[in-house]
Amino acid sequence: KAETEEAGGTTPDDAAPPPPDPIAAAYLHADDLSSDDEDENGVQNRIGRVPLHWYDEYDHIGYDMTGSKVIKSATGSAAEDALDRALRNEDDRAEGKFVVRDALNARDVVLTDRQVELIRRVQMGAYAHPEHEAHPDYVDYYSGVPEKSGLNSGAHPPKARFQPSRREKMQVRRLLHRLKCGSITMDFLTGRVRDMNDLVKRRDGTTDEPFLLWKGDEEDELANRKGPQHIAAPKVPPPGHAESYVPPEEYLPTEQERKEWDDMEPKDRPHGLLVPKRFDNL
């Protein structure tokens, strides 16, 4: 390497990369310029996305951009039967041709080797252009080692670095004020108590431990609580024979008693609005 530098030459590492292949570059960009809307022959069907079987009974397959009919070709795969089509495919395979049928324009299209290669690569999930370099060599445009500048190397540190922080001073003043007010204690500052609410509960004797809702001495609590004395509601008397679903025969009213009860006021009846009835299915 030293001999090469003395001779004024370049080393292999400093050599420029080889120039790109102009043929490959031409192929790489020529395919991108093609479009489905272009028609070199000037004949292209413009019927749009309509079913082609609509034109089965006509001699044309559609209309071109000038409004002229696109006549069906008398020769080709459309006018052949299965046997002729099989023989023609064998001849095309022997000649190395790949022919596809363009049903929209009613013509046979012979694919070039380049087009067949593009179709094969797309089917395999690779890049369509063989000239495309998927993993090019990395070019380190920017160095990863930062350059040290000497502009600020001799600068003096600022004076604020040697003075106490104003924010810490405000925090200390706030803690001293809370200590004087009694909202916090030294146990909280030293870490013995994580929350001042725990200390307040400890002083009051209240804890967060679970307790029974019904202790068994509800009567004593009702007697000692503040407010008026609790008065229990009167108990409802148990139902009699007249309110039974199957009362005895002597409690069932006769027809004469029913008529008399209907003439009486509900408040004057023996059982109010209740009429004793017997249900044999119960």
Res 214: pLDDT = 67
Q: Is the pLDDT of residue 277 over 80?
A: yes
Helix ranges (H only) for 39-153 are 82-95, 113-123
Q: Is the pLDDT of residue 225 over 70?
A: no
pLDDT bin (cut points 50, 70, 90) of residue 47 is confident
Q: Is the pLDDT of residue 167 over 60?
A: yes
The more confidently predicted of residues 95 and 167 is: 167
| β-pairing verdict for 107-111 and 98-102 | antiparallel
The one-letter amino acid code at 241 reads H
Q: Is the pLDDT of residue 34 over 70?
A: no
247 token code pair: 């009362």
Q: Is the pLDDT of residue 30 over 70?
A: no
Cα(125)–Cα(134) distance, rounded to whole angstroms? 13
The more confidently predicted of residues 26 and 246 is: 246
Contact of 43 with 64, CB cutoff 8 Å? yes
Cα(282)–Cα(280) distance, rounded to whole angstroms? 5
Q: Is the pLDDT of residue 275 over 80?
A: yes
Res 171: pLDDT = 92
15 token code pair: 């050599």
Q: Is the pLDDT of residue 9 over 50?
A: no
Q: Is the pLDDT of residue 46 over 50?
A: yes
